[in-house]
Each structure stands twice: as C-alpha cells, then as structure tokens.
Amino acid sequence: MKMKAIPLLLAGLLAAPSFAHAQVERVTVTAEQKKAAEEKLKTTFSQIQVTGFEPSYVPGVFELTTGNNTYYFYPGSNGQDGVLIFGEMYDAQGNNLTQVAREKRLDKAMATLPMDSALLVGNKTGSVEFYEITDPECPYCERYDTWVKQQPFANQLKRKIIFLMNNGHPGERREVEHIICSDDKNKALDDAFKNTPDNPVITDWKTCPEAEAVIAEHQKIVQAVGAQGTPAFIINGKMVTGFSEAQILDAIKINDASVNMQGTK
C-alpha cells in the first residue's frame, strides 16, 4: 500500500464538547479489532519497529510506541490506506495525555528492569536522585558532567549512571569496565571523560569479572526505556533527551521542590 504520514495536533479533537466535563478515557475495543488494526499498521508501515500498540482516546485511532516515541495510527476503512499521525493529545483541561502515557510506560518498564545496576556518583546520600544514560566518549556527556558539577546544588545530587554502549566508540568498552571496577567511581568517571589517546589520563586500567554482567544489564535498560543516544536522563519518571540545561533544571526542580537552586535547602 502507498505510505501516508501526516503531522497533526489532536488537541482540537479532545476539546470537543463531549469531552468538556468528563475525564477522557481510552476507547474500548475488542481483541479482534486491535489485532486487525495492528496488522494494518504492519502492512502499511512495515519499516516501523513497534514496541507498543493500544487504543487511544479517540475512536478509531490507535496509539503506538516505537522506542521512546509515541505516534498515532488510523487504520482506515473500506479499503483505504492507514494514516500515521504525529502529534500529541490534550484533554479539555490542557493535560498532555500523550506525555502521561509515556510516563506510565516508562514507570512500568523500570519496575521490571535491573535499575539497581546503575552506578552511584555524586552524593550517595543526596536528596535529589535521577538516572543518567551516558557514554564516556560522548562529548556532550562530558559537557553535561562538567556543567552539572558546577551547579550550586551539585552536592545535593545522587546521580545513577547507566552506560549506553556505542559501536562507533571503540574505546568505550574499556573505559566503562574501568569505571565499574574502580572503588572511586566519581574519579574514574571523571578520568574516563578526560582520557584520550593524546592525553592518557588512565594508566592503571581496572578490570573485574562482574563488569560484563553490569554492561549487559545496562543495555537491557537502555533498550527497554527507548534511549537512542546520549546523554539522556530519567528524572521523576520523565525522559529528558540530550544536554538541555533548561530541561534538566526544570525536571530537577519538579523532582524535588525543596531543592534550592542557589545551593542550600
């Protein structure tokens, strides 16, 4: 079938009078209807790797997940092609239903993942904790690391590190193992960011039997939460992608309203 994809903001649909005074709920469909729609999606957009598929809040429209992205699909009728819809759904009160769905999926995924395999850096008893998906050979990760350590609230942060293994960074595997196997993980991470062939900061490389299992668990987490690049962050159940100072600061403040951004509580 001919492929169609249109960008569409669905706020108008959900602002209709029928939604104005009632909580918006997902449409109920039969298993057969869901299966038929999913098969139509696979036929029309065969290149999409779908990781989740369920009814949306609009009759006839389904919500699909691919990685950390959420789209919508209308399967068409009477032999028409299906339509892929890009955009977000809002209810009449301005609530972002698409974002809520993302957060619920993330919470559900994290509940079954080995999140305790993350490495702790920063203040291990800090009042604000979140996950960082990083790569010691990623320049933006290094810039973030330098920036966050300079923030006035840095001593309040309990950072949980998860490594995304990048096949394009051949030196990463050795650096990640060094960090995992080091007693002082703060220093090891800092050294790994600074280490280059022209500036060999690390000379005593650490290895240990448990590194392989930790790396495998981290890749399982990365795939399940849909992280496709670094740096990425999971803060208060929300995924923040890329090094955006504004987004990170906003997420940290939401995560713990008692954090004083001037560095005191």
Give the Cα-Cα-Cα angle 53, 57, 58 (nearest 5 degrees): 100
Same domain, 86 and 122: no
Summarised one tens digit per residue, pLDDT across range 38-82 is 999 999 999 998 988 999 999 999 999 987 789 999 999 888 889
* Token pair of 37 as six digits: 């729609």
List, in sequence order, every residue forming a beta bridge with 150; answer none if it has no partner.
Answer: none
Same domain, 142 and 244: yes
The rounded distance, in Å, linking the Cα atoms of 237 and 257 is 15
Q: Is the pLDDT of residue 131 over 80?
A: yes
Tokens 């960011």 — which residue? Answer: 193
Same domain, 127 and 226: yes
- Percent of residues, the chain, with pLDDT higher than 70: 87
Summarised one tens digit per residue, pLDDT across range 82-92 is 999 999 999 99
Q: Domain range holding 92?
A: 31-96
SS3 63: strand
Same domain, 245 and 136: yes
List, in sequence order, every residue forming a beta bridge with 134; answer none if it has no partner.
Answer: 163
Mean confidence (pLDDT) of the chain: 88
Pairwise pLDDT comparison (14 vs 109), residue with the higher score: 109
- Lowest-pLDDT range, 5-19, 181-195, 239-253? 5-19
Strand pairing category for 83-86 and 5-7: parallel
- Contacts with 89 (C-beta within 8 Å, 6 or more apart), sequence order: 10, 11, 13, 14, 56, 57, 58, 72, 96, 97, 98
Across the chain, the runs of DSSP E, i.e. the strands, are 5-7, 52-55, 62-66, 69-74, 83-86, 119-122, 128-134, 157-163, 232-235, 238-241
User: How far from chain centre, in Å, is Cα 262?
Assistant: 28
Query: For the chain, how many structural domains are there in total?
Result: 2
Q: Is the pLDDT of residue 18 over 80?
A: no
Q: Buried b / exposed e across 51-86, counting CB within 10 Å, b at 16+?
A: bebbbbbbeebbbbbeebebbbbbbbeeeeebbbbe
pLDDT, mean of residues 130-158: 96
Predicted confidence at residue 237, as pLDDT, reads: 87
Q: Buried b / exposed e across 96-124, counting CB within 10 Å, b at 16+?
A: ebbeebbeebbeebeeebebebbbebbbe
pLDDT, mean of residues 99-112: 89
Query: Is residue 161, in this structure, part of any structural domain at all?
Result: yes
Predicted confidence at residue 113, as pLDDT, reads: 95
CA distances from 229 to 67, 115, 150, 233 (A): 11, 18, 24, 11
Same domain, 61 and 189: no
Same domain, 92 and 120: no
DSSP 80: P
Query: Is residue 70, in this structure, part of any structural domain at all?
Result: yes
Summarised one tens digit per residue, pLDDT across range 187-198 is 999 999 999 888
Q: Is the pLDDT of residue 34 over 50?
A: yes
- Lowest-pLDDT range, 13-22, 40-49, 159-168, 182-191? 13-22
**The CATH number of the domain where 201 resides is what?**
3.40.30.10
Record the pTM.
Answer: 0.76
